[in-house]
Amino acid sequence: MIRRIARGLAALGGAGMLAATTVLMAPLIWPPDPDTSLELKNGQLVGETIGYVWQTDADTGTIHVSSSLVGLRRTPVTVTAGTQITVGDKYGAFADLVHNVRVRVLYESHEHVRFASSIEVLGQGAVVSAVTKNAPPRVEHTPAVGYWLEVGVFADPDTADGLMARLLEQNLAVSIEPATSHDGQHRVLRVQVGPFADEASAIAAQQNLRAIGYQAQIADARPLAAGSPASPFLPR
């Protein structure tokens, strides 16, 4: 009789431990939706996600982040020219967002598309750390600076997309960057052409755009992402 009671208690204890382990491991396998962190700030939905980079697409400037140990529920985030990437206390670039690197992403949600405002590289996952453990030290370089031309600022995404399409027909490299209006009350989309290697090239392109009817303005110079050509023209 005592043995049966002991076996029953052991079985209950094992089931309880299994249930507790399942509860603790569940978020590590199937993490919560990061959009549940969205908050309305200055009229814009802002969210945050922390996890590992599981996939990157340099052509679209997109990374897929998940806190899952097996890469489930990956969150796509678009990296724009205005995204601030940091690695420690230094400027980073899209090339730093390699597979299995751990990141903290602050993003803005526009029409179900997430635009990264900042990405902080927190460290590398176990797989990458094992591979790069004995790698030579990374040489840091001062990031090259590129110049952009701002061709239009719009609150309506369709209007911004329309201008972008017309500029692409001119064989120009065009990007759309989320921003805040001058009064700080609204979120807007900045349509920009670039980058240009220097201010003189940007001024020349500005004059050319004005000649065909576009009132382009020179935007602030920003560091170029590693591997980004300082040319506003797309390859044909």
Alpha carbons 117 and 160: distance in angstroms, whole number: 19
Interatomic CA distance for residues 97 and 56, integer angstroms: 8
What is the Cα–Cα distance from 43 to 187, expressed in whole angstroms?
7
The gap from C-alpha 43 to its chain's centroid, in whole angstroms, comes to: 20
Confidence of residue 131 (pLDDT cuts 50, 70, 90): very low
Contact 146, 204 (CB under 8 A): no
Q: What is the pLDDT of residues 163-220, one digit of tens each?
A: 988 888 877 888 888 888 777 778 889 898 888 888 888 888 888 888 888 888 888 6
3 state DSSP class of 3:
helix
Q: What is the mean pLDDT of the chain?
A: 75
pLDDT band at 65 (very low <50, low <70, confident <90, very high): very high
Query: Which band of pLDDT confidence, cut at 50, 70 and 90, is reported for residue 21?
Result: very low
CA–CA separation, 71 and 180 (whole Å): 33
Using DSSP bridges, classify how beta strands 222-223 and 113-124 pair: parallel, antiparallel or unpaired. Answer: unpaired
The Cα–Cα gap between 78 and 111 comes to 13
> Kindly report the CA angle at 15 between 10 and 19, in degrees rounded to 5?
150
Using DSSP bridges, classify how beta strands 75-87 and 62-66 pair: parallel, antiparallel or unpaired. Answer: antiparallel
The answer to whether 13 touches 157, Cβ cutoff 8 Å, is no
Instruction: Provide the whole-model pTM.
Output: 0.47
* pLDDT confidence band for 7 (50 / 70 / 90): low
Check: CB of residue 157 under 8 Å from CB of residue 112.
no
Q: What is the pLDDT of residues 88-120, one digit of tens each?
A: 878 778 888 888 899 999 998 887 788 998 999
Backbone phi, psi, residue 232, to 5°: -85, 0
CA dist., res. 14 & res. 121, Å (int): 40
Rounded Cα–Cα distance for residues 150 and 129 (Å): 41
What pLDDT does 12 receive? Answer: 53
Distance CA 119, CA 132 (A): 21
The residue among 93 and 8 whose pLDDT is bigger is 93
- Give the pLDDT score at 15: 52
Look at residue 53 in the predicted model and tell me its pLDDT: 93
Average pLDDT score over residue span 20-31 = 56
The percent of residues above 90 in pLDDT, for the chain, comes to 11
